[in-house]
Amino acid sequence: MALMRKVELARKLGVSKAYISKLIKQGQLIDQNGLVDDESIIRWRNLKEQLLEAKLQNEILKGDLLRATVKERMSKLIPASAMKECLKRKGKQIREAMLQIPVKLSDTLAGSDERTIHRLLSDEIRSTLLRLCENK
């Protein structure tokens, strides 16, 4: 075990003497009558490197998680313009299908009573709407 002065240690580590004193007060370096032993320096450096490595790994994992979250969300999003176009097409399909109902039923409804007309129209509207739902 070799001992060195705080000034020498600060110069060797590239830090200030005040920083070495702070590390000693925190118990990270062992002070023996103004001198610091090299074993405590080695332990301190190893701990510091492990801490930096752990922080780096943590940041890498956060980045991976963020990228995965963004990728998942992007795959679930649909551009507004595409959605508007899809709704416009579907609206046209519904309109055309509904306008075809009178053409389809005009002969059948001619001369029918009110109750029969109501039932036939209701059935045809229901079946048209179901057909449209199946045609996604």
Q: What is the pLDDT of residues 35-47, one digit of tens each?
A: 777 777 777 778 8
Q: Which of 42, 57, 74 is the last residue of a domain?
A: 74
Same domain? 26 vs 66: yes
Q: Which of 58, 74, 90 is the last residue of a domain?
A: 74
Residue 105 and residue 86: Cα distance in Å, rounded? Answer: 29
The answer to whether the predicted template modeling score (pTM) of the entire model surpasses 0.85 is no
> Do residue 65 and residue 100 come from a single domain?
no
Between CA 125 and CA 136 the distance in angstroms is 17
- What value does the mean pLDDT take over residues 65-94? 88
55 and 8 in a common domain: yes
Average pLDDT over residues 88-94: 92
Report helix, strand or coil for 75: helix
Last residue of a domain, one of 23, 55, 74: 74
pLDDT at 77 over 90: no
Same domain membership, residue 48 and residue 88: no
CB 135 within 8 A of CB 93: yes
Cβ within 8 Å of residue 104, ≥6 positions away? 124
Is the distance from CB of 4 to CB of 36 less than 8 angstroms?
yes
Domain that holds residue 113: 79-134
